[in-house]
Structure 1
């Protein structure tokens, strides 16, 4: 065991980083709420103001939708990539994980090139029907952008979980007469569940707080990060912006904490069952 002096020396850098980049800024943001005319009651603005509440609901629904779609797509594709070897497999995996290297503004620009006023979809629809289909600047375009940069985060976790699955369990289930859907439900999904839950939480939290893509596409989009930006920069309403920021952070933190709890519980159950 390390001596007290060594322990203190090793802990000091970590504590300093947490204090400088998390605790102190969080404290300063929290107390900024009291500068508003309503004081601490400003924290309730997200529930009492219709625009803020609608923005929160829209952000929650969109983030949940992105998470569900990403989990379904990546669950299928991840299992396929793990179970099959073919020419170009590594290239395909590289392309699927490429969005990790793109900032949100680049993702937003790519959505504009796809579904913007001069985008590919608009050009094709105009040639076929005489009308341009443009959805890059509303919630559908933001959904595609968030899904695009969520796929790498989910598929890597799914593939890691899929590699740990024992094919013999599936073979045993089939030999006992279980149809394919029962094998998927009772064998494959439970094995993938820790990876699905943890990656889904990261996907949800990222979509809740992502700003760059929303800023690039922000024409008819009213998600919570954009509302915070507007209140802070354009309206100089720092107290409300701080309250909304704390609310957004608290919701995301509760989501991640719940996932850590349930993943830990499922891991304990799996361990006890295996024993």
Structure 2
């Protein structure tokens, strides 16, 4: 009887999670597997996708400098956006955590409010702000800071600015969740023992919020590396990233196998980088807390 009861107890979590696993498989795993299978198909300019298999698509993407430059540009974009989100989001969250109500709730709503708006609408708003005749350039010209409009649309700088605005709330939410578990008495204890504000922050506060910073960085990096709408609208046709390159192959040249190959390689690179950073972060955090 004990063995039967143990078996039932062990199977209970799987039975309870079975509906969610089936839904997850149907909505995510099956499309990914179909995309992976599509990436091995042969493509003909005259006949389209053929029922034959080849590794040529992967060899073309891996060996072609054109795609290498696109993947490199995407990596630089993701790193720049992640760094900016850390620099802006972490201090912002710390200030928010130390505000008093109702100002804290109001400011947090302002920070997270953009998540309620479509990313396309926000990106179009940045197009208006950053354009040659936009609000930003008109203000700079009116203040005589510049003599001619600064070109920000269709540049990497403009894409980084717009993506940072889109993804900063994710960093804020990650750090906010960690700060809610932080005991303020520990910080005051450090101050009472003669530590300066900067030393207390570096030795007491920062190690405790690092898990939130690292998890937020992973989320921001993954989302910025796979972003499509913002690079497509702000970067334009010439400033291609991996997502827009895959889109062009699917709907521009109709080379679905090559587009699927680009998408699969982006997923592999994203997963490898995220898992590598997670492992490294776990080791560093274990070293800090030990």
Q: Tell me the TM-score normalised to structure 2 length.
A: 0.83
Q: Deviations over 1:170-199 (max 9, x none)?
A: 233334443333222211110001100111
Q: CA 1:107/1:45 → structure 2, altered by over 3 Å: closer, same or farther?
A: farther
- The aligned counterpart of 2:175 is 158
Q: Which residue of 1 aligns with 2:233?
A: 216
Report the counterpart of residue 248 of structure 2 in structure 1.
230
Alpha-carbon deviation of 1:10?
Answer: 3.6
Distance 1:270 1:241 in 2: 43
Contact 2:36 2:260 in 1 (8 A): yes
Q: Distance in 2 between matches of 1:21 and 1:45?
A: 29
Corresponding position of 2:49? none
Alpha carbons of structure 1 residues 97 and 39: separation in structure 2 relative to 1, 3 Å: same
SS of residue paired to 1:133? coil
**Equivalent residue, structure 2, for 1:250:** 268
Counterpart pick for 1:197 among 208, 214, 223: 214
Q: Which residue of 1 aligns with 2:42?
A: 36
TM-score, structure 1 normalization: 0.87
Tell me if the contact between 1:174 and 1:183 (Cα under 8 Å) persists in the aligned partners. Answer: yes
What RMSD in Å do the two structures reach over aligned CA positions? 2.6
Where does the alignment leave 5 or more consecutive residues of structure 1 unmatched? none
Q: 1:148 aligns with which of 165, 179, 188?
A: 165
Q: Pick one of 133, 141, 144 that aligns with 1:118.
A: 133
1:70 is matched with which residue? 85
> What is the Cα deviation at residue 147 of structure 1?
0.5
Could you say if the C-alpha distance between residues 125 and 21 of structure 1 is closer, same or farther in structure 2, counting changes exceeding 3 Å?
A: same
> Does the 8 Å contact 1:209/1:248 carry over to 2?
yes
Give the superposition deviation at 1:247: 0.9
- Structure with bigger gyration radius: 2
